[in-house]
Structure 1
Amino acid sequence: MRLHPVSARTGLVWVREGIKTFWRQPLAMSGLFFLFMAVVSVVSVLPLVGTAVALALLPAATLGLMAASREASEGKFPMPTVLASAFRAGKERLNAMLQLGAFYAAGFLLVMGVSALFDGGQFAQMYLGGGNVTAETVQSSEFQTAMWVGMSLYLPLALLFWHAPALVHWHGVSPVKSLFFSFMACWQNKGAMLVYLLAWMGVFVLCGVLVSLAASMLGGGAMQVALFPAALLMAAMFFSSFYFTFRDSFTE
């Protein structure tokens, strides 16, 4: 397994492949994403440890969505059991994925902890628990500083874990090495990754504009009804594209 450099325009290919794969199996891909969100949401409300456990499950859950995209791209219908792919790959791979999940939870909570130093934890509370935060609080300099610090620290964490679950599951790479290879692959293909993320931002903005225009034609209340499901569908398409960023960044 070796790193595979790609051109910057490959980022557009990843976006296109994600959207195309989603629409090959729209019911399956959207249903799996909703199930993924439901499981994480239910786990996160457990007393004391809910947030940490939910965070620890994210690498395995993301791997499940990548496996679903892989099956859909091959013309198969991904079943709900595909979300549990990480837990059906044998004891050794399962232990490695659980370690990866523990690393992610620790890293994410550390990022939130650092951001809390700037605003007393208001940004972290809003991000993790959806706490009641007023518009005045959001506009405060302390909250803004905490938000930008949190986002800046989360970026390298995201790059470390971007390919790591797939490397652990499909290539048997150890958790620590998978983090290293994931970061190096993202850095080597930083042009493609930047185009990929910017293109998705453009897709989300375009979708938001179209939903707003449609809602304005139907009446103000339609906006609230349409915006949330549209955002979930767009997020499902986004997750459907993860597999292709991995597929093209490594070669046997």
Structure 2
Amino acid sequence: MKLNYVAPKEGYTWIRQGIWLFKQNPLGFLMLVFMYVFAAQLAVIIPVIGVFAVLLLTPTLSVGFMTACRQAIQKERIKPSVYIAALKSSPIVRKRILQLGLVYAAMIVLLSFILSLLVDFELLLPLMTSDKPITPEALRQVYLVLFFGAMLYVPVAMLMWFSPVLVAWEDMSVPQALFSSALACWSNKAAFFLYLSIWSAILIAIPLTIGMIFDAINLGQVASYIIAPISMAGLTVMHCSFYATWKACFTDNEVVMPV
């Protein structure tokens, strides 16, 4: 396994490769993303335990989706059971992937605690529990949550981007996988910046624009029927493009994806 250094423009190439990969089995990939979103929504209903379970299993599910990407390239059928591929592996991999889940959960808890010190959540609670108009101060807190949340999550994302696959496929220890993942992201930060900027425009700017257009013509309720499938498809393609980032940043003997 060798770490690669790629040009900034590769960030765009990863998205193109994600689209290509999605086309290999669109129904299979959509099924996997829908299952994850549905399970996450159910988990939120169960206080504390449900959210912790999702965080604990996030690395496992990540390996499952990456395994599905492999299967799609090899023209194999994608099954829901692919999500537990890491847990069906060797005992050492199973132990490490769950340890990685604990690390991820701990980092998210720490991130949430720090965010609570920077933002006044008491102003935000009425927005989620009532239909009262948004005050300027509440809107300011919303922007602060988005800004500080994104900044705090960047190092977490760098540590977790490749570490589940490095643990499951490359037999790395948890500390080694976390370090290698962060190093790969930092070494290719320009490509990742372009990659994430494009996805931000696709998944955030485009739905907001559609919503504003439909609100302007008094069809705001109709917008959700258009935005939801577009967002689901975009989210699925983005998950497929994660595999492209893996193939670009690390060298192995597998099939190379088309440009």
**TM-score interval (norm. to shorter):** 0.7 to 0.9
1:115–1:124 CA contact under 8 A, matched in 2:
no
**Structure 1: distance between partners of 2:46 and 2:55:** 12
2:124–2:138 CA contact under 8 A, matched in 1:
no
Q: Partner residue of 2:45?
A: 45
User: Taking structure 1 as reference, are residues 212 and 147 closer, same or farther at Cα in structure 2, changes over 3 Å only?
Assistant: closer
User: Taking structure 1 as reference, are residues 119 and 16 closer, same or farther at Cα in structure 2, changes over 3 Å only?
Assistant: same
**Structure 1: distance between partners of 2:51 and 2:11:** 32
Task: State the one-letter code of the partner of 1:5.
Answer: Y
Moved more, 98-107 or 56-65: 56-65
User: Taking structure 1 as reference, are residues 98 and 249 closer, same or farther at Cα in structure 2, changes over 3 Å only?
Assistant: same
1:67–1:243 CA contact under 8 A, matched in 2:
no
Moved more, 240-249 or 93-102: 240-249
Deviation at 1:42, TM superposition (A): 2.2
Deviation at 1:233, TM superposition (A): 1.6
Deviation at 1:186, TM superposition (A): 0.5
User: Taking structure 1 as reference, are residues 78 and 125 closer, same or farther at Cα in structure 2, changes over 3 Å only?
Assistant: farther
User: Taking structure 1 as reference, are residues 117 and 211 closer, same or farther at Cα in structure 2, changes over 3 Å only?
Assistant: closer
Q: Partner residue of 1:148?
A: 147
**Structure 1: distance between partners of 2:122 and 2:150:** 14
> Please, what TM-score do these two structures have when normalized by structure 1?
0.87
Q: Partner residue of 2:65?
A: 65
> Please, what TM-score do these two structures have when normalized by structure 2?
0.84
Q: Partner residue of 2:257?
A: none
Task: State the one-letter code of the partner of 1:88.
Answer: K
Moved more, 162-171 or 230-239: 230-239
Task: State the one-letter code of the partner of 1:77.
Answer: R
**Structure 2: distance between partners of 1:122 and 1:200:** 31
How is 1:201-220 mapped onto 2 (pairs within 5 angstroms)?
A: 201-204=200-203, 207-208=206-207, 219-220=219-220
Structure 1 gaps of 5+ residues are: none
Moved more, 184-193 or 131-140: 131-140
State yes or no: 1:197 paired with 2:191: no
**Structure 2: distance between partners of 1:166 and 1:155:** 19
1:115–1:150 CA contact under 8 A, matched in 2:
yes
Q: Give the root-mean-square deviation of aligned CA atoms.
A: 2.8
Q: Partner residue of 1:184?
A: 183
1:55–1:101 CA contact under 8 A, matched in 2:
yes
| Number of residue pairs aligned between Structure 1 and Structure 2 | 248
**Structure 1: distance between partners of 2:50 and 2:238:** 25
1:164–1:178 CA contact under 8 A, matched in 2:
yes
Secondary structure of 2:239's aligned partner: helix
User: Taking structure 1 as reference, are residues 154 and 206 closer, same or farther at Cα in structure 2, changes over 3 Å only?
Assistant: closer
Identity %: 27
**Structure 2: distance between partners of 1:2 and 1:115:** 36
User: Taking structure 1 as reference, are residues 156 and 60 closer, same or farther at Cα in structure 2, changes over 3 Å only?
Assistant: same
Q: Partner residue of 2:256?
A: none
Q: Partner residue of 1:228?
A: 228
Q: Partner residue of 1:165?
A: 164
